[in-house]
Chains A and B, each alone.
Chain A
Amino acid sequence: MSENKNRQDEFSYRYPHKVYGSLPGVHHGKSLGTGDSFAGFSDLFDYPDPRRLDLRASIRDNMATGNDNYLVKRYQQRSPITLWMMADLSRSMAISNVNHEQLANLTQLVAHSAIGLGDRFALAGFDSGLRHDVYMMPTRQRSMPIIAADMIRDAEVAPAAGVDGLIHAANMITSKHAIVFLASDFCCDLDTVDKALRQLSRYTVVPIVWKHDDVNHLPSHAGWTEMCDSETGERRSIWMRPSIKKRWKQTMDDHFEQLTNCFMRHRVRPLFTDGDVTGEQLTDYFLGRK
């Protein structure tokens, strides 16, 4: 891998459904046109393309029906999709091991892979609201991956706490066919996640769950612990002791279990990560999905 250091990492993916669209792309499409998957015969008169003329099929058809037609083969055209990156820019995404740099790298990876494959890439950043400064309409310009990554790197700190923007960002996704990468730490109310997933139900959603280090969840194991919430800045203080630690861990585990359940309900498989997301990881994810 070392010799490829300067090369942008990539991953390969498949869109599981058939795409309808007039533009050519790589994903299985529904529209008829130039492609490699056979979609039936048609009369040469209707589709005057002698290159696709199938004499054998024509003769058999004429013998069967007594007509005098020439049949041409029709194919399903491959079509592009859009890869949406929904980037959580809330404050909790900017502490220690989970930071904007990793998010930017992921964005660049997704954008590069999408545009490289002829798909379009779009970006929607959110925190407490939709981030208009971190937003990109679907595009296939080759320069966009770096621009998108820089957008996230240079993004300012979230003005307010919360991830309510998730709903707005989900509303922004208007493409007919899209894979939506939802990158967040999911340390938020599950109702919001559930609502967003419901909105995104027509798309293939790939939740990328960034796990915080244990220290960021459980800063101390004993004694007086003063904490401030990364989002709200709300101060909590607690005298840590084994029983509290147990309860704390229980709450945490419950949350992530419920989160997984929530994804399962929406037939979505999350990708858990605690650092940089590599192309290999994503490739494995998509392959595992097959």
Chain B
Amino acid sequence: MTFFGLQWALPTVLLLLPLALLPWFTHNQDKTVAWSHFVPADPISNVIGLSLKILASLVVASLIFTLAGPHVPEKKVERVGKGAEVVILVDRSRSMDDPFSTRGKALAVNRTVGKGDSKRRIAKKYLLEFVDKRPDNRFGFVLFSDKALDLLPLTYNKKSVVATINASALGKGLSETNIAKAMIKAAEMYSKEDYHGSRTVLLVSDGGQEFSEEDKQKITELYKVENLRLYWIYMRSTTGLSIEEESEDDSWKNTPEKKLHKFFKELAIPYRVFEIESVKSFSEAIDTIDEQQDQTLIVEEIVPRENKTEPFFWLALITMLALVFAQFYTAWGVRKAHD
């Protein structure tokens, strides 16, 4: 039931509201005086008396209101924000546990699980930053190795996004990589949703893979239908050649990364690759995406149920304090009169 723009959990309790009139009828404080003619007329007293009664009524009323459980129910609010819907695909393969390549440190000598500079950690750090910068974005999260796990469906809930990203950086990687499955998963996540605005798939991986024809066809189709946009953050582990670079070297030409890049380019969707060699380039890539993905977006927010009892409690408390003070003062006065 709705009264005063609030929902009431127990509206029947409001039937007790007439009790708030009780202070106007009680005379339990009455003292008999021989002749009230002696009592001086005092307008201030009338005002005080009136306000005391009003305060007492207020206490009763606000306590009843509290009992009735006022709240603003959970509701969805649509507002126009800026940004995009982003599904983050993070490679969970073991190679992501390798130290992130920097110039001068060519190869991973040891696996640094649990150390701060593994690729996964770096990715985590910058993804968090990315998420942080974009309050209105809707994020989904897919972790993949040989299977794609849609850890988090598209959501506005920043906390869960952050928690998911944090969690994704825990533990050891798995052996296999199956990018195709992850990409299909991401597209499927979008297909369940209404179109709100710019849709982005952010693939974070350190390697490529050659897709089967079937997968290729499916991805081509899905990405087109869902009107997606693809960013690939390619974390190079070696200071090898760039994906873009054309090389005569056959071995490089046939690397899965190269083939994947080629396939992505052939998709008829906006696509960009960021080759990450250093922490700096990672952050630059993130910034670039950030800049590009600033389109108007209809953001749907769920405002949780909000209890509105507190103001009533405060009102009752403060009023009651005033009344208690008056009562104590009165009791003192009566005692003095009887001394």
Q: Is there contact, CB below 8 Å, between A225 and B333?
A: yes
**Chain A binding site: helix, strand, loop or mixed by DSSP?**
mixed
One of A187, A188, A223, A251 near B329 (C-beta < 8 A): A223
Q: How far is the CA of A98 from the CA of B201 in the complex (A)?
A: 96
Q: Is there contact, CB below 8 Å, between B329 and A227?
A: no
A232 at the interface (CB under 8 A from B): yes
Please give me the residue from chain B that is nearest to A252 by CB atom: B38
Report A-chain residues with C-beta under 8 Å of the C-beta of B35: 92, 187-188, 217, 229-231
Give residues 222-240 of A contacting B (CB, 8 Å).
Answer: 222-232, 234-240
Q: How far is the CA of A195 from the CA of B338 in the complex (A)?
A: 36
Q: How far is the CA of A99 from the CA of B36 in the complex (A)?
A: 18
- What is the distance, in angstroms, from A189's C-beta to the closest C-beta of chain B? 8
B44 at the interface (CB under 8 A from A): yes
Q: Is there contact, CB below 8 Å, between A222 and B330?
A: yes
Q: Is there contact, CB below 8 Å, between A228 and B44?
A: no
- Of A111-119, A198-206, A208-216, the one touching chain B: A208-216
How many chain A residues have a CB neighbour from B under 8 Å? Answer: 39
- What is the distance, in angstroms, from B312's C-beta to the closest C-beta of chain A? 25
Q: Is there contact, CB below 8 Å, between B34 and A217?
A: yes
Report B-chain residues with C-beta under 8 Å of the C-beta of A230: 32-35
A221 at the interface (CB under 8 A from B): yes
One of B34, B40, B45 near A212 (C-beta < 8 A): B34
Query: Provided the pairs A231-B35, A232-B36 are in contact, do residues A224 and B27 lie with their beta carbons within 8 angstroms?
Result: no
- What is the distance, in angstroms, from B33's C-beta to the closest C-beta of chain A? 5
Counting chain A CB atoms within 10 Å of each CB, the highest count among B30, B32, B42, B48 belongs to B32
B254 at the interface (CB under 8 A from A): no
Q: Is there contact, CB below 8 Å, between B32 and A228?
A: yes
Report B-chain residues with C-beta under 8 Å of the C-beta of A220: 31, 330, 333-334, 336-337
B52 at the interface (CB under 8 A from A): yes
- What is the distance, in angstroms, from A105's C-beta to the closest C-beta of chain B? 20
Q: How far is the CA of A219 from the CA of B337 in the complex (A)?
A: 6
Q: How far is the CA of A231 from the CA of B27 in the complex (A)?
A: 17
Report B-chain residues with C-beta under 8 Å of the C-beta of A98: 34
Q: Which residues of A contact B (CB under 8 A)?
A: 92, 95, 98, 185, 187-188, 212, 214-232, 234-240, 244, 247-248, 251-252, 255
